[in-house]
Amino acid sequence: MSVKQAGYFCCHVPLELITASGLVPFRLNGLGDFPEKSYGYFPGNFCMFTRSCLNQSLTLDSETFAGLIIASSCDSMERFYDIEKKYTHLPFVHLLDMPRKTDNSAIRYFTEQIKYLKETLEHYTGSEISSDKIKEAIFLYNENRGLFRKIDLLRKDIYIPSSYIMDIIIKQPAPAELNIKLKEILNKDFAGIKEHVPRIMISGSAMEDITFINLIESSGAHVVYEDFCFLRHVRMSVDTDKPPVEALSEGYLHKLPCARMCGSVKERLKNIKEIIANYSVDGIIFYLIKFCDIFSWEIHMLVSSLRSMDIPVLVIEGDYPVKARGQLASRIRAFIEMFEDRL
């Protein structure tokens, strides 16, 4: 019998715990040719990412998938959980309740929520998830993160196409396989950064459609940093000296700042400024998925602050997966051409 997968949403879901349970974590991202059924469950003005993910989830079969783990990352995902809980044919659907803060009380609360998830996984598998198994998984994922940090450092001086890296991450290889692929990137010869080529940072909603990155790179720019949530689990670290469940709680709450957290705008702006300085960023492109409340409310404050620093910013609000590619390509090319007089 093949190992089953556990579908999950949100980078706050501790992958180490899923792996330690013997299941394979699989992030649902709504990419693919799935039958459109979401309008039977969601209103028209509903997050396009969540809508696409629901279409994908309705195609999952219990022979391959053990269940779904859905974090309460936003109102849309909580409604997604309600629908899955009522209509799913999978063995389990678990809601991982997320705090809105990252202080000590939030860490204690999230620790209890992770323990609750652990019980759900143990009930399904019929096996205890020992501390040793969790620690082993933490070491494995931390190796992924260490290699990815080395790649990030290289990208300050060497041009490694973002689409090349993202294609590997989005295909979700197993942690051991991902380590091999990341080492291959580190051992590969890439060209240095070209002069007079705009260095672009991309940010915004849960954008996992590589079409967006391809459009930017084909316009002649270098994407040097991606600030998207699906990458945050490889840009964090989990303490291996602390009790494993508590370490997961602290590590996942203290990763790169997320727009859903209280006080996130100040922290996200600080993080973006650090990225601009460390990666010599010339401009930023934000992609907001239609009806994404979490990122839409913060964008005006972020853009206002960045433009006051004379950082060129392009904000795109669009579909998910990416549509209207011709129109989108035209807007991106116009933005990139603006740098001809600046570099």
CATH number at residue 14: 3.40.50.11890
Domain encompassing residue 334: 132-341
β-strand pairing of 92-96 with 65-71: parallel
Identify whether residues 199 and 333 lie together within a single domain: yes
Q: How far is CA 100 from the centre of its chain?
A: 18
Domain co-membership, 139 together with 82:
no
pLDDT digits (tens, 9 = 90+) for 109-135: 999 999 999 999 999 999 999 999 999
Could you tell me if 61 and 193 lie in one domain?
no
Q: Are residues 201 and 91 both part of a single domain?
A: no
- Of 76, 95, 129, the position where a domain reaches its end is 129
Last residue of a domain, one of 129, 154, 185: 129
- Give the C-alpha separation, 235 to 250, whole Å: 14
| Pair 203, 241 in one domain | yes
Query: Do 122 and 187 have their domain in common?
Result: no
211-218 vs 162-170: helix crossing angle, rounded to 10: 170
- Clarify whether residues 72 and 143 are in a common domain: no
Domain termination residue (choose one: 99, 129, 159): 129
Q: Looking at beta carbons, which pairs linking 295-298 to residues 24 or more positions away fall under 8 Å?
A: 295/204, 295/205, 295/259, 298/259, 298/264, 298/265, 298/268
Residues 171-196, mean pLDDT to the nearest whole number: 89
Handedness of CA 87, 90, 290, 330 (dihedral sign): negative
Same domain? For 209 and 93 the reply is: no
pLDDT digits (tens, 9 = 90+) for 215-236: 999 999 999 999 988 888 888 9
CATH number of residue 309's parent domain: 3.40.50.11900
Structurally, the chain folds into a number of domains equal to 2
Q: Does residue 1 carry a pLDDT above 70? A: no
pLDDT band at 88 (very low <50, low <70, confident <90, very high): confident
pLDDT at 256: 77
Verify that 65 and 143 share a domain, yes or no: no
Amino acid letter for position 141: Y
Q: Residue 187: which H helix or E strand, with range?
A: helix 175-187
pLDDT at 304 over 90: yes
- Please list, residue by residue across 309-333, b when 16 or more beta carbons sit within 10 angstroms of its beta carbon and e when fewer do: eebbbbebbbebbbeeeeebbebbb
Tell which residue, 30, 76, 78, has the closest CA to residue 55.
30
Q: What gap in Å lies between CA 275 and CA 175, rounded to an integer?
A: 26
Q: Say if residue 123 is in the same domain as residue 138.
A: no
Quote the tokens at residue 340. 């001809």
Q: Could you give the strand order of the β-sheet that contains 65-71, starting from the edge strand earlier in sequence?
A: 24-27, 5-9, 65-71, 92-96
What pLDDT score was predicted for residue 294? 87
- Residue 268, phi-psi category: left (phi > 0), alpha (psi -120 to 50), beta (remainder): alpha
Model confidence at 61: pLDDT above 60: yes
pLDDT exceeds 80 at position 195: no
Same domain assignment for residues 57 and 147: no
DSSP 27: E
